[in-house]
Structure 1
Amino acid sequence: MQLRRPLLPGGPCPASPLPALLLLLALQGAAATPARPGGPQDSGWQKDAVLPHGLLQQAARAALHFFNFRVGSPSALRVLSAVQQGRTWINSKKEYQVDLVFTTERYNPEKGEEHLGKCSAQVLFRNEKPRPVVNVTCTRFIEKNTRQQKDYLLYKHMKQLKKSLDVVSMPDSHGHIDPSLRPIWDLAYLGSSYVMWEKTTPSLHYYVAQLSSVKQWRTNEDAIDFDYIVLLHEFSTQEIIPCRVHLVWHPGKPLKVKYHCQGPQAPEEASGTEEGSAVAPT
């Protein structure tokens, strides 16, 4: 004869509280475990209390160089205005991941124009290696139709040139850029943005100092085939680094860049295939 456990008044016998308690403790433990920012849980990453000097500005510059390259518009170039906030993580390999928000300005601002707006970015510096991994999003971008019209006017101007460009230096010895050559400078700066992003490390950053040679190559394709030598000023070492840059540009299409720089830290050649992504502005 089988004995049955008597039921308690009001319903069936309640289950043991031990499994529920263990589940609750497990959930609390998972919530307390820090996660690597922007990725899966990784206990090797921790918030860095002491930032390397200038790391937030360094990350903002790298993100902006990458953004300018990805947008591919000489009419919509941005420069860094100010870093508003940021936080940094470090792992056992001395890699830094930086989350930050910064403001930008037009590279060629028009009279009375204010800040373009904000950008948010996540930048990963793999120790002292160049070419940081970038994800960046910017808002309040220049009006799309205006940008497309300006880009097309530049494109049309270069395609209608009766002879290829052959400029010795820009700016000249007095720091002056002829207004008729300003669009050419902007296009060269656009291609140089790719070079500066690739060469950036946590301790090295670059600015365009001068174009020592500018030439346009005639091609049978619709794109502008453009070749120039840019002198990059590296601020940490105060060195001037010449880089030969070749770019292929067509309005509305991805920019293609190849380059070769003198110096021990430069890759022999680079192209427009890169790691990371730039999100289209909203």
Structure 2
Amino acid sequence: MGLRIIVVLAVLMGVTGSPTTTVRPETTSVDTAAHPNSIPEMAEETGQNEVFSEEEAAEDVMATGELNPNHYPAQRAAKVVQHYLTTRYGSPYRLFGLHRVHSGNAEDVGDSGRKYQLEISVHEIISNTTQKCSAEVFFPHGQKQESPQVQASCEELLNISTKAQEEALYQQYKMNQTLLSAQNLPDSHGHIEPDMKLLWHLGIVASSFIMLKESSENTLYNMAQVANITQLETEKEQLKFNCHTLLHDMVSQEILHWKLLFAWSPAEGVKVLQMEQLPHCQHCEKPPNTN
């Protein structure tokens, strides 16, 4: 059942699972209704992928100087920007996706880490608004992995106001006589009931905190599924939720299970209170390459 879910979701999201493949931008098409964690420019219409040349593979290792926007070093750094924007500004009515990487440059900063300068287009999924943004991502180096540091300038997208919708949803959830719960968002057929979509959006925003924290130059995270999510009793005007989320590392092809406790209100946004990675499932198969 788990494998079938991941295969369906991979097709739905239109992402490429092999770190040794690339595509050309002129062959791509962008589905504006796609999953906000998808990478549209990395999936060809034909479903076929081109293998890196030796030069391209070397770039993937070196990751310094001017970068090919379609190769993994630039894509990994740009994906971190998406997670950053979602943690800072995401809501049930505002979700960010990486639309395209236009240019990228990487440089070593002494022994402390590597800095990426990027020009990207970010897509706000719900309003169907795309803006070109400048961003900087710094990956610290050291024995202990630290979260990347991000700066991004996307003022136009951040000016989209969703306060009225958020307040109405907050009051609806707060007044629920029966606390909400849901499983398998999306299900094995890629389907989500309409009244569960906003709950799924909350799960996406909360999961972005994990993906931002765990990201490095050797990872590329998408959220695969909210396995289950349960509304808890409201505390101090904060709606609270328990959530079990499945994350897909496109590089290792592993599906990672995380447990989350998070709160949300229109005034405070999404706040992750606890996060815990669940033990690796020894009997679960890795998903195939998602071409």
Per the normalisation by structure 2, the TM-score is: 0.67
Give the Å deviation of 1:74: 2.5
CA root-mean-square deviation = 2.3
Q: Which stretch of the first structure deviates more once superposed, 177-186 or 255-264?
A: 255-264
Structure number with bigger Rg: 1
Aligned position for 1:77: 95
Among candidates 126, 130, 133, match of residue 108 of structure 1? 126
Among candidates 202, 211, 225, match of residue 210 of structure 1? 225
Aligned position for 1:31: none
Question: Aligned partners of 2:158, 2:85: CA distance in 1, in Å?
Answer: 14
Displacement over 4 Å in runs of 4+ = 50-53
Asked if residue 139 in structure 1 is aligned to residue 144 in structure 2, the reply is: no
Question: Aligned partners of 1:226, 1:85: CA distance in 2, in Å?
Answer: 39
Question: Aligned partners of 2:67, 2:122: CA distance in 1, in Å?
Answer: 23
Asked if residue 124 in structure 1 is aligned to residue 138 in structure 2, the reply is: yes
Contact residue 174 and residue 234 of structure 2 kept, 8 A: no
1:53-202 counterparts in 2 under 5 A?
Answer: 53-93=71-111, 95-109=113-127, 113=128, 115-127=129-141, 129-141=145-157, 143-145=159-161, 147-202=162-217
Contact residue 64 and residue 79 of structure 1 kept, 8 A: yes
Contact residue 215 and residue 226 of structure 1 kept, 8 A: yes
Which has more strand, going by share of residues? 2
State, as a whole percentage, how many aligned pairs show the same letter: 27
Point out where structure 2 has 5 or more consecutive residues left out of the alignment.
1-62, 281-291
Per the normalisation by structure 1, the TM-score is: 0.69
Q: Any idea what SS the aligned residue of 1:150 has?
A: helix
Question: Aligned partners of 1:136, 1:158: CA distance in 2, in Å?
Answer: 32
Aligned position for 1:28: none
Contact residue 67 and residue 103 of structure 2 kept, 8 A: no
Among candidates 264, 270, 273, match of residue 249 of structure 1? 264
Question: Aligned partners of 2:90, 2:183: CA distance in 1, in Å?
Answer: 25
Q: 1:180 to 1:218 in 2, by over 3 A?
A: same
Q: 1:54 to 1:263 in 2, by over 3 A?
A: farther
Give the Å deviation of 1:211: 1.1
Contact residue 210 and residue 230 of structure 1 kept, 8 A: yes
Contact residue 127 and residue 202 of structure 1 kept, 8 A: no
1:227 partner letter: N
Give the Å deviation of 1:263: 5.7
Question: Aligned partners of 2:116, 2:271: CA distance in 1, in Å?
Answer: 27
Q: Any idea what SS the aligned residue of 1:167 has?
A: strand
Contact residue 72 and residue 252 of structure 1 kept, 8 A: no
Contact residue 182 and residue 196 of structure 2 kept, 8 A: no
Indicate the structure whose relative CO is greater, using CA pairs within 8 Å and at least 6 residues apart. 2
